Amino acid sequence: MYKIAVLGDKDSILGFRALGLDVFSADGPEQARPVLHRLAKEGYAIIYLTEQLAAGLSGEIARYKDELTPAIILIPGKEGSLGIGMANIKTAVERAVGADIL
């Protein structure tokens, strides 16, 4: 049985607790880094990560990108979307095709 985690700043993730997801709060990338690694090890299949934290954790995210689990999915935090999630799709296209064709 796999689990779903939400990692982000406290105000952004509180609502997900009502859905029955496991929420973990972190105030900055420094705090989030060990948590992210721990979650990846503990059998979380999906980790929703706020873009605000993801901005400082790009190396860690790239590490898990090619692995089957966990799927790290960026979601906008309460400050709004930073466009990192959309940019990632673009990067994936560039990686596969060699140019951005969309």
Q: Which residue matches tokens 């990338």? A: 29
Does residue 11 bind other proteins (CB under 8 A)? Answer: yes
CA atoms of 75 and 12, how far apart (whole Å)? 10
Does residue 95 bind other proteins (CB under 8 A)? Answer: yes
From the list 71, 74, 13, the residue with the least C-alpha distance to 46 is 71
Whether residue 6 contacts residue 13, with contact meaning beta carbons closer than 8 Å, is answered with yes
Instruction: Compare residues 30 and 87 and give the one whose CB is closer to other proteins.
Output: 87
Instruction: Compare residues 9 and 32 and give the one whose CB is closer to other proteins.
Output: 9
From the list 34, 54, 47, 33, the residue with the least C-alpha distance to 4 is 47
Residues 47-76 touching other proteins, rule: CB under 8 A, are 48, 65-66, 68-69, 71, 73, 75-76
Binding site for other proteins (CB under 8 A): 1-4, 11-12, 14-21, 45-46, 48, 65-66, 68-69, 71, 73, 75-78, 80-81, 85-86, 88-89, 92-93, 95-98, 102
